[in-house]
Structures are given as C-alpha cells and as structure tokens.
Structure 1
Amino acid sequence: MNDLLLIAALAALGAGTVGLLAAPAVRLLRRRTVAASLSAVAVVAVAAMTAGTVTVAQAMFLSDHDLGVVMAVVGMSAVAALVPALLIGRRVVAGSRALVDAAATVGSEEGFTAPADPPTSELAALGEALAGTSARLAESQRRERALEASRRELIAWISHDLRTPLAGLRAMAESLEDGVAEDPARYHRRIRVEVDRLTGMVDDLFELSRIHAGALTLTLARVSAYDLVDEALAGAQPLAREHGVRLVGGGVAPEAVEVDGREMTRVLGNLLVNAIRATPADGTVAVGARREGGDVVLSVSDGCGGIPEQDLPRVFDTGWRGAPARTPRAAPGGHSHGDSGAGLGLAIVRGIVEAHAGRAAVRNVQGGCCFEVVLPAAPAPAGAARSA
C-alpha cells in the first residue's frame, strides 16, 4: 500500500511539474484556433503522462530495456492522442469558418442559411439562433419598408389634400377682399366647410401620432355593444340622409365589452362614415354585434362592390384609399361631417382597436365588404357570477 502511494505521489509530481510549465503556453493559445487549442491540450496531457511515467520508472530502477518498452508505449499513445485531436480540431475550425461566412448574410436579401452538418451541437445551436435572428431581422426590415412606403404615400396625399382646400380658401378670400363675390354668404359657408375639413385632417393626424407614439390613454368602462352602436348610428344618420343611404342596426346583441366609450364610438363612427361614402345612393349600410366565443364582434357592412383581393391587406394602412369606388364622395351641399378624406380613418380604427387588445379585419361580402372589430368580451359581474 505504501508503495502504491509512493508511485502515485511520484507520478503526480512529474505530471504536475509539466502542467505548471505548460500553463503559460496554453494561455498564449487561448485566442488561437480550436485545432491549436486541442493539440496543445493533447500535447500537455501526453507530456504529463510521460513525465509521470519516467519519474516512476526512474524511482523503480527499471532496466534500459524495460524503460525503452515503457517509452515506446508512451510514444504510441502520444501519436494516438494527437492525431484525433488534430482531425477533430480541423473539423471544428472548418465548421466555425463556414458559420462565420454564413453569418455575414444575416440581414441580407438572400437570408441566412445555416451550414449543413455542423461538427458540434454548440455550433448547431448557434446556427439555429442566427437563423431565428435573421428571420426576425428580415421581418423587421419588411415592416420598416412598409412603414416608409406608407409614410411617403401619406405625405404625398396630405400635401395634395392640403393644397386643394388652401387654394380654394385663397381664391375665395381674394374674391371677398376685392369685392367681386356675387354671394358673400355662400363664400363664407364654403370657407367654413373647408376650414372644418382642414381641422378634421389635423385632428386625425394628431390622433394617429398619439397612437403611433403609444400615448393613447384609455379610460375603460363596462359598456353594452348595443349602446355603442346606437350612439354611432345617431351620429352618422345626417350623413346617411345626405347620401341617400339607409342605416340598418337590427342585428345587435346586447353584449358587454370593457372599452373606452369615446374612443370606441370614434371607431364605429369612422367605419360608418367610410361605409356611407363608399355606398351608392339607395344602398344600405348594416351594423351588427355578436358573440363569438370569448370575443364580441362589431361589424359594419356596406355596398361598395367589394375591394380587390390584393388590396385587402393594405386597407388599414396609413393613407390607404384604394380604388376610386372607395374614394370619399362629396356630400350634397359640400358638408364633410368631420371626415378629412385623407385616408387616416381606418388607420386610426386599427390603432384604437389594437390599444384595446382587439383586432380589426375586413372581408368581401356579396355586393360590398364587411369591416369587423373583434374585442374581448367583458367578464361577468361578480354579483352575477355568485347568483349563477
């Protein structure tokens, strides 16, 4: 037992000495390739084993023949350890370089493709992480391009919409100033209409900027869908009469939702104004509310003739107007009823609905299209739950 302890101590002394002497060399290789690091580890391991073996052999006073046999065995073991280390290291280095080359494509139009057959599970996991990052970056770039295109369209349309009423206001003001207006009262009424239109446009831009900035503050309260629809119909009735459009609100279930009543009334008002202006005279605009699972769906259907399928994904984009069939028509008498006609109403609808943790959608139906606002249904009152 004492001999074994002595042999173990001598082997540890020899191996430990080599390890201490090799530590600086291994440290210098910490920023080198994986192949160099693996080779260094293998060399240190073989050198430590050799030092321990030689130390023990010297202490045991082996013959030259026996010592030669031991050294031959150690040498073959060293070769057997170094060759696999070099091969594995080269494979890992090749896989790492392939992953580095592939990582350069993250965010490019071609997209990232992870190298096939990675040499280690760590490199495989890194490739999957880079693929996910590339996909998220591509989606972010797509949204950014869409927002930039929408912003440019909005600026172009707003510039056009501002230029037209401003030119009219200037012409009417000059006529009044020069005293050539045959009917000053009519000019005054027309100026008031254009000012109201500009005011509505500015209000819509301000509302949209609040939504995009996340500054929309909601005061939630339990409201019946019937009350929301009834208030919205009352506000849209004058515009519907001017356009000769019938408003139908019979299919409304008294489902409860927890919303900001003022903002949600604006949502329904925007949808109704949009539907009335897109529906021909003698047409019908129908409003409904129904329960679907845990949601309440408010719907506004018009008689616009439908929206092209390729335009449906863009309906709620800022500044979208679509086909001429959906371009707002001037009401008889030139009244605007608060609608700026700048293509912001549906974007505001989506922003307000999403702020309520809901979603807005549109689909074509026979003779027109149907806009739907899906909101979470309000939970049952505590008293009702107990009585049930």
Structure 2
Amino acid sequence: MPMRPELEAITLAAGTAGAVGLAGAALTLLVARRSPAAATLLGPVVGVASVAAGVVVTTRAMFLSEHDATLIALVLLAAAPVALAIGVLLFRSVRRLDRRAQQRLADEQRELELARSRQDMITWASHDLRTPLSSIRVMSEALEDGLVTDQDDYHRRIRAEADRMTVMVDDLLELSRLRSSAPADPGEAVDLAEVAATVVASQQPVAQQQRVHLRLTGDAPAPVRAAAGELDRVVANVVSNAVRESAAGSDVVVRVAAEPAAEEVVLDVDDACGGLAEEALAHAFEPGWRGSSARSAGAGVGVGLTIAHALVERSGGTITLANHGPGCRVRITLPRHTPAPDAR
C-alpha cells in the first residue's frame, strides 16, 4: 500500500531535519568545549539550518509549484535573521555571565590568598618579635638585679632591639596598607637617578661597616612618574637588601639606564650574595622570604622585597630578580615620564 503524500512529506522533512540537526548538534558540542558562549550563537543557526534543509528537500521531492517554493523560501529567509538575532543575544548574555563567574572566582581566590597571607604574616611577626622581646626582657632583668657592670652598653642594646621591633611593625603596617588600599595615581615626575644617588649615599655607612663596596653608575636624568616617597622606599629596600646579603670585600653596583628614545627607565642592583636556586627566585617577593638565611638574622619580617614589588606595580612598572654574576640582580623597570606638550 503506497504511503499517503502528507505522511511521506512529514517523514522526509523529519528525517532530513533530524540528520542536519544531529550533525549541527555534534558541531555545537565541539565548539562548546572551547567556548560555551560561541555555542549559544551556533545553536539557533543549527535550528534554522535543520528546518530549512527539511523544507527544501521536501519541496523538491513533492514537486511543489514555483510559487509555493518561493513562498517557503521567503518564510525561511524571514525566520533566519530572527534566529541569528536571538543567537547573538544569547551569546552576549552567556559571555557576560561567564565573565562575571570568572571574576567572582578570581575575587574569591584572591581573598583566600590574602587570608592565607595574613595568617602567615601573623606567624612570621610572632616569631620575629619574640626574639627582640626576649632579649629586652633578659637585659632588663639583669639591670634590675644589678648583675650588669656596663649599664650603658645594655641600655644601647635595649634601644637597638626596640628600634628593630619598630622596623618590623612599620614593615607590617606598610604591607597591610598596600594590600588594603586602592592604587594611588602617581602625580609627579621623579628623577630615578637622583633617588638612586640619595639612597646610595645614605647606605654608604652601612656598606663600609660590612666592608662592601657600594657604587652608583649612570647619573643622566631618568624621569619617571611615581610617588616620590614610595620610589625612595623601593630603591632603599632593594639596595639595603643587596648590601646586607653581599659578602665582605664584594661589590654592590647600582646602575640607572635611561636612553633618550626609550619609553622605560631601568634600575639594576647587582649584589654578591652567591646566587639563589630557581625555587628561591620564584618565592623572593613573597612576604617572609629571606632565602637560606635564618629568619631572625636581620631587622624586619622579610617583607622588604614584597613592599618594593607592590610599590613598583602601583607605579605601573615591574620588578624582577635573577641570578647574575657572583650574585643576583634586581631589575626595576618604570615608564618614562614624558612632559605633556604645551597647549597653544
């Protein structure tokens, strides 16, 4: 018994649309693995394509009149832009939601890292503050019990330990401020060469005491846009760290490079610390890190490079640490300040 024309048309249209739809669905799934948003744009197109394929095949098989075939084609042409528009709207909505989800995930991850960092800082501060506090307690008890012959020496040592604790607290407060406040807008031009010269001069007594040869090369003007006080602290942290970690009799070289045509100004600080392992280099800017030295070996809580890193980034620059020569090189790169042309 032959199939009725209506049933034959339905079967042919459903089969064709289903075949095209399955192929399009497979393509959409492949695209979705790379970009869910793009898959939402492809979905309506697949729907229209499958319907169009079913209608075209059916009209050709059923030998419809030219008028009817044209009418169906016009209907499909009218439906296609609507489907595409819906796809575009879905694409934008899904992409917006995806970005929000990624931003929310990044914020949550950042909060977890900050919470972990705060806990680590509390642990480090408790450890580092315990040593000078214990020293002050022991020396105070010795003075109180009259067991000290040179009281002036003990007074100086107590004062030194108190100063050491002050440095620790100041470092922690500065790091907390940097992590909790919004980046400041650098509003003034600062000569990095002049800052470097001032810092090198102030560090000379410490370097001479440790028998380290500290010198500065490159005195050409190196204008950058940054907060003057923050830039002073960055250079001072890096240079003092280099002097402290270098061996006696070695050189610490501070170099400022500012090519006239360059868009950036570079400050290099080369020390003679003996170099670091790759794993240590990767953690150098984390709070509390002091390489292989004992944590109680110097003043502060090991956040000098962390503070320098944060301040440089606030000024739109970068800071890196790498092995170089007999030690390490800290490189600070800052955008060059270019005065705005006078309005005429």
Distance 2:339 2:333 in 1: 18
Q: Does 1:81 align with 2:2?
A: no
TM-score normalised over the length of structure 1: 0.64
Amino acid of the structure 2 residue aligned with 1:76: E
Is it true that 1:367 corresponds to 2:332 in the alignment? no
Q: 1:168 and 2:135 equivalent?
A: yes
Query: Cα deviation per residue 1:281-331 (whole Å; 9 max; x = unaligned)?
Result: 11111111112631000111101011112221211111111222x96855x
CA distance in 1, matches of 2:169, 2:102: 38
> Following the alignment from structure 2 to structure 1, what is the Cα–Cα distance between the partners of residues 111 and 290?
20
Shift, 1:275, TM fit: 0.4
Contact 2:213 2:251 in 1 (8 A): yes
Rg larger in structure: 1
Match for residue 318 of structure 1? 287
Counterpart of 1:322, as a letter, is: G
Determine the C-alpha separation between the residues in 2 that align with 1:216 and 1:95.
Answer: 45
SS of the equivalent of 1:195 reads helix
**Could you tell me the percent identity over the aligned residues?**
36
Helix, strand or coil at the partner of 1:249: strand
Residue 133 of structure 1: how far off its partner (Å) = 9.1
Is 1:155 aligned to 2:114, yes or no?
no
Residue 266 of structure 2 aligns with which residue?
297
Distance of 1:318 and 1:78 partners within structure 2: 71
1:289 aligned counterpart, secondary structure: strand
Whole-Å separation in 1 of the counterparts to 2:296 and 2:250: 15
Q: Aligned pair in 2 of structure 1 residues 277, 245: CA closer, same or farther (>3 Å)?
A: same
Q: Which runs of 5+ in 2 are unaligned?
A: 47-90
How far residue 229 of structure 1 moved from its aligned partner, in angstroms, is 0.9
Shift of 1:178: 2.6
Gapped runs of 5+ residues in structure 1? 1-68, 104-111, 331-339
SS in 1 for 2:217: coil
Q: How many residues align?
A: 292
Assess, with a 3 A threshold, how the Cα gap between structure 1 residues 188 and 261 changes in structure 2: closer, same or farther.
same
In structure 1, the residue corresponding to 2:218 is in which secondary structure? coil
Q: Which amino acid aligns with 1:171?
A: V
Contact 1:240 1:247 in 2 (8 A): yes
Please tell me the root mean square deviation across aligned C-alpha atoms, in Å.
Answer: 4.0
1:274 aligns with 2:255: no
1:189 equivalent in structure 2: 156
Structure 1 residue 212: deviation in Å? Answer: 0.8
Amino acid at match of 1:358: G
Which residue of structure 2 lines up, in the alignment, with residue 228 of structure 1? 195
Residue type of the partner of 2:252? V
Shift of 1:121: 2.7
